[in-house]
A and B are shown apart, each in its own frame.
Chain A
Amino acid sequence: MTVITYREACKQALRAALVADPRVFMMGEDIAAYGGCYAVSKGLLAEFGAERIRDTPLSESAFVGAGIGAAMAGMRPIVEIMTVNFSLLALDQIMNNAASIPHMSGGQFAVPLVIRMATGAGRQLAAQHSHSLEGWYAHIPGLRILAPATIEDARHMLAPALADPNPVLIFEHVMLYNVEAELDERIDAVDITHASIRRAGTDVTVVTYGGSLPRALAAADTLAAEGIAAEVIDLRVLRPLDMTTVAASVARTHRCVIVDEGWKSGSLAAEVCARLVEMVFYELDAPIARVCSAEVPMPYAAHLEQAALPNAGRIVAAVRQVVRPA
């Protein structure tokens, strides 16, 4: 067992992928000489050279589109977008080309591309660097959307993502990069298909992913002291959703709270809620509750930003209301 950061786990995954397959290369803004906006790719330029670690101009549409084209020409590109807000400049390429071409071409072309990007708030980066838009991407057929929330997932999700013949988007929450944990070296692979029960419980199911997982686990600790046993599920894969795991848990606990840093309106949390109603309506003993971000562009001031975000206290309050309604 060694203790490493989430950032280091991401870097180890990239290095291993570059070593394992000569078709793998990286491109993105400031990933090479600068070392990556969040320092994830620091050192890779020296190790692998400028041909495989490519700084790009600030042209999200062009370099994401080039990643799609290179994937269709036989490469296995890893494209980094600095932050999810910038990915909107490449949304056309992701949606209209990467996600559509396999179907539109009648299966003649696949797009084996991985796009990584930072997501989420908490670093006072305000409204153009802090949003959680992964739910939008999870709307799009043809994409696989991953949200590694643990050191193991950060270390091991990349390899199966690169092996996937479809475009895979990996969302790394900015508040996780500095999280330290022991990397269990007995684990050398993870799947990118299933949700994971991170804590077992019988009274309520708390469904979350990404940067909200630590908050949900902290809330579960608090609740346990009150005699409420919360089961915490990490979705891990935001598309296609593993609703089998989630629904089975809710069928046991009969109650559910969904924690999602995205906005509530039209969110991933809304989707999980709707599917639960479709699948286990008659198992529900309380309305499904959601803890999401306040519906504001993320503000700069620390107290406003924190007030806008889900936190353990809000999760605890939501669970109490669901388990012991007033």
Chain B
Amino acid sequence: MSGDKLHLDHQTLLHLLAQMVRIRVFERRCAEMYQREKIRGFLHLYDGEEAIAVGVMEALTPHDAVIATYREHGQAIARGVPMTHLMAELFGKVEGCCRGRGGSMHIFDRARRFIGGNAIVGGGLPLAVGTALGDRMQGRDAVSACFFGEGAVDEGEFHESLNLAALWRLPVLFVCENNYYSMGTALADAESVTDIHAKAAGYGVASEAVDGNDVVAVELAARRAVGAIRAGGGPQLLECRTYRTRAHSMFDAQLYRDKAEVEAWKQRGPILRFQTWLESSHLVFDDEVAKLEAAAEEEVSAAIAFAEAGHFEALEDLERFVVMDEVPA
């Protein structure tokens, strides 16, 4: 899986599509479960941005660390976090990956080095610098992939972290999911320079802007960047330009953007584009798409059933894990 060459064989292409469809179906059912009050709190869905998580994760190994955002279901699924534990977490059940303590915005999975959804915009960037530092000081060949939205670029942490990572030439892949709106504020209303990848140059960080709705392009760019990082070239920044086609969170009247704009981006959505291309190029057989869609539906339904059947943490354990007894091995 390593290297910056992409072998577009039949199975690989189907896999990319299947990963994106799994995320899309998961998110649709999340919306449904939210409206049925099975899921509460804030819920941020990933519709339209699937190509980024799927493409970047393909370029990583299990040794690498992933630091995620609060819109991280797709990042978690693409990283391999089981949907059962993910959905149970959203249901607040003890079978959830964080025993119901994290919820939608704080998904952690130690076994997959998935170090958190982070609901403080920009809060994960310093962490990624730290995991990269720790890995390098211990001689590990590992990259820390840090996802953040373009809103995080407004924060000081973005600039502090790029600087520190570059200063110490740390193995960090900064992945900016630029969906053009930080909640309801358009990029141009928040940043004086809207070409985000250009900001990296100020810190001597190599960067690239890529069509974030093209899963193959994202994967190729991620492989290039990860390859350069592993070669000792220091951090890299990948700006993936995309669009979320759903509301910011569930309770959002979307007063800040036109329906026509949303509709236009939907037509350029990563799944629609990739699937259309595969079909028109005869790269998939007739029933393969239907099969992987059915499989995704089945997987998510099973995850919902798993979450439904789960249990709530005992109240006696309310204060557990506030103070740790030991560092988990």
The verdict on B222 contacting chain A, using a C-beta distance below 8 Å, is no
Give A69 to B133 CA distance when docked, in angstroms: 8
Residue from B98, B132, B160 whose CB has the most chain A CB atoms within 10 Å: B160
Closest to B146 in A: A69
Taking a contact as CB atoms under 8 Å apart, the answer to whether A97 and B127 are in contact is yes
Give A108 to B329 CA distance when docked, in angstroms: 9
The verdict on A321 contacting chain B, using a C-beta distance below 8 Å, is no
The verdict on A75 contacting chain B, using a C-beta distance below 8 Å, is yes
The verdict on B100 contacting chain A, using a C-beta distance below 8 Å, is yes
The verdict on B78 contacting chain A, using a C-beta distance below 8 Å, is no
Of B67, B115, B327, the contact of A110 (CB 8 Å cutoff): B327
Taking a contact as CB atoms under 8 Å apart, the answer to whether B131 and A104 are in contact is no
Give A165 to B127 CA distance when docked, in angstroms: 17
Residues facing A in B83-103 (CB within 8 A) are: 96-102
Closest to B127 in A: A69
Closest to A51 in B: B137
Residues facing B in A159-208 (CB within 8 A) are: 165-166
Give A226 to B237 CA distance when docked, in angstroms: 70
Interface residue stretch chosen among A33-41, A53-61, A268-276? A53-61
Given A106-B99, A109-B115: A142 touches B126 (CB 8 Å cut-off): no
Taking a contact as CB atoms under 8 Å apart, the answer to whether B134 and A72 are in contact is yes
Taking a contact as CB atoms under 8 Å apart, the answer to whether A142 and B98 are in contact is no
Taking a contact as CB atoms under 8 Å apart, the answer to whether B127 and A68 are in contact is yes
The verdict on A126 contacting chain B, using a C-beta distance below 8 Å, is no
Taking a contact as CB atoms under 8 Å apart, the answer to whether A105 and B126 are in contact is no
The verdict on A64 contacting chain B, using a C-beta distance below 8 Å, is yes
Given A25-B137, A51-B137, A106-B101: A65 touches B322 (CB 8 Å cut-off): no
Of A93, A97, A106, the contact of B100 (CB 8 Å cutoff): A106
Task: Give the size of the chain A interface in residues (CB under 8 angstroms).
Answer: 43
Closest to A75 in B: B134
Give A67 to B132 CA distance when docked, in angstroms: 11
Give A59 to B128 CA distance when docked, in angstroms: 15
- Interface residues as binary, A218-234 with B (CB distance below 8 Å gives 1, 0 otherwise): 00000000000000000
Of B98, B132, B137, B327, the contact of A106 (CB 8 Å cutoff): B98
Residues facing A in B134-169 (CB within 8 A) are: 134-135, 137-138, 144, 156-157, 160-161, 163-164, 167
Taking a contact as CB atoms under 8 Å apart, the answer to whether A108 and B98 are in contact is yes
Chain B neighbourhood of A16, CB < 8 A? none
Given A73-B138, A141-B322: A65 touches B327 (CB 8 Å cut-off): no
Chain A neighbourhood of B322, CB < 8 A? 102-103, 141-142
- Interface residues as binary, B99-134 with A (CB distance below 8 Å gives 1, 0 otherwise): 111100010111000011010100101111111111
The verdict on B300 contacting chain A, using a C-beta distance below 8 Å, is no
The verdict on B309 contacting chain A, using a C-beta distance below 8 Å, is no
Of A25, A70, A97, A107, the contact of B324 (CB 8 Å cutoff): A107
Taking a contact as CB atoms under 8 Å apart, the answer to whether B135 and A73 are in contact is yes
Of A62, A71, A102, the contact of B164 (CB 8 Å cutoff): A62
Give A101 to B325 CA distance when docked, in angstroms: 14
Give A213 to B112 CA distance when docked, in angstroms: 48
The verdict on B202 contacting chain A, using a C-beta distance below 8 Å, is no
The verdict on A63 contacting chain B, using a C-beta distance below 8 Å, is yes
The verdict on A295 contacting chain B, using a C-beta distance below 8 Å, is no
Of B65, B100, B125, B324, the contact of A73 (CB 8 Å cutoff): B65
Closest to B100 in A: A106
Chain A neighbourhood of B157, CB < 8 A? 61-62, 65
The verdict on A96 contacting chain B, using a C-beta distance below 8 Å, is yes
Taking a contact as CB atoms under 8 Å apart, the answer to whether B324 and A105 are in contact is no
The verdict on A47 contacting chain B, using a C-beta distance below 8 Å, is no
The verdict on A297 contacting chain B, using a C-beta distance below 8 Å, is no
11 contacts between A and B (CB under 8 A): A62-B129, A62-B161, A65-B123, A69-B128, A69-B130, A73-B65, A93-B123, A105-B108, A106-B97, A106-B321, A108-B98
19 more contacts with CB within 8 A, not counting A70-B134, A92-B120, A104-B106, are: A59-B164, A65-B157, A65-B161, A69-B129, A72-B127, A73-B133, A73-B134, A73-B135, A92-B123, A97-B123, A102-B321, A102-B322, A104-B98, A104-B116, A105-B108, A106-B97, A106-B108, A109-B116, A112-B327
List residues of B whose CB falls within 8 A of some A CB: 65, 67, 96-102, 106, 108-110, 115-116, 118, 120, 123, 125-135, 137-138, 144, 156-157, 160-161, 163-164, 167, 320-328
